[in-house]
Amino acid sequence: MNESIITKYFSDFTPEQLKQFAALGDLYKDWNSKINVISRKDIDNIYEHHILHSLAIAVFIEFKAGTKIIDLGTGGGFPGIPLAIMFPEAQFHLVDGTRKKIKVVQEVADAINLKNLKAEHIRAEEVKARQYDFVVCRAVAQLPQLWIWSERLLRDRQTNVIPNGLIALKGGAVDKEIKALPRGSYTDKEEISNFFEEEYYKEKYIVYVQY
């Protein structure tokens, strides 16, 4: 599977963005052979299982210029790197507690000349508060824990159509996690299979928690 799965669902890319997406496959294959950031069995599915999956968030919200987004527990750079390519006018801060993963994120970002991204080896609890419009993450923790980490990072000033909050890519039975959030939390759950037709997206969701 190559980058054509992205243009199946998204258009209006600049030549630079297309070049950046096209470069990701080989870059991740190369880095993954040295530092295991994606399951070795799954590296051939990087465009469908990792890059397009990250871009489901771009169907849910179009980040305005100047929006500040933090990707908590980014791992090898998902969803942050694909979103940073998609929204070059937004600012992305990708953090992870594993130094070698952040090294891969920084090297990949540098290789494709991604200027709107900062990668940092830091734990969620250590990030300075009230700096961000949105927290994004993928397969990091249960929603109640994610919300504890996220809530203090979000700022009050609104610049997007959707109010500031947490946007998490989740799989499986998420209703139990949603119910465990603090009483009165506004949430929205979207099935990714409504956006993308591939079998992989069955029982995969975007969960939004409003700040």
pLDDT at 2: 87
Tokens of 110: 């540098």
pLDDT tens-digit map of 95-152:
999 999 999 999 999 999 999 999 999 999 999 999 999 999 998 999 999 999 999 9
Name the phi and psi angles at 36, rounded to 5. -75, 95
Give the integer Cα–Cα distance in Å for 174 and 62. 24
- Residue ranges in the chain modelled with pLDDT below 70: 1
In the chain, what's the furthest Cα-to-Cα distance? 46
Query: What is the Rg, in whole angstroms, of the alpha carbon atoms belonging to the chain?
Result: 16
Q: How far is CA 180 from CA 71, 73, 143, 174, 183, in A?
A: 22, 21, 8, 10, 8
pLDDT at 183: 93
pLDDT at 70: 98
Domains of the chain and CATH, by start? 4-210 (3.40.50.150)
Give the integer Cα–Cα distance in Å for 190 and 29. 31
pLDDT at 1: 63
117 CB-near residues (< 8 Å, 6+ apart)? 80, 81, 84, 92, 93, 94, 109
Amino acid 115 reads K
Give the integer Cα–Cα distance in Å for 206 and 53. 10
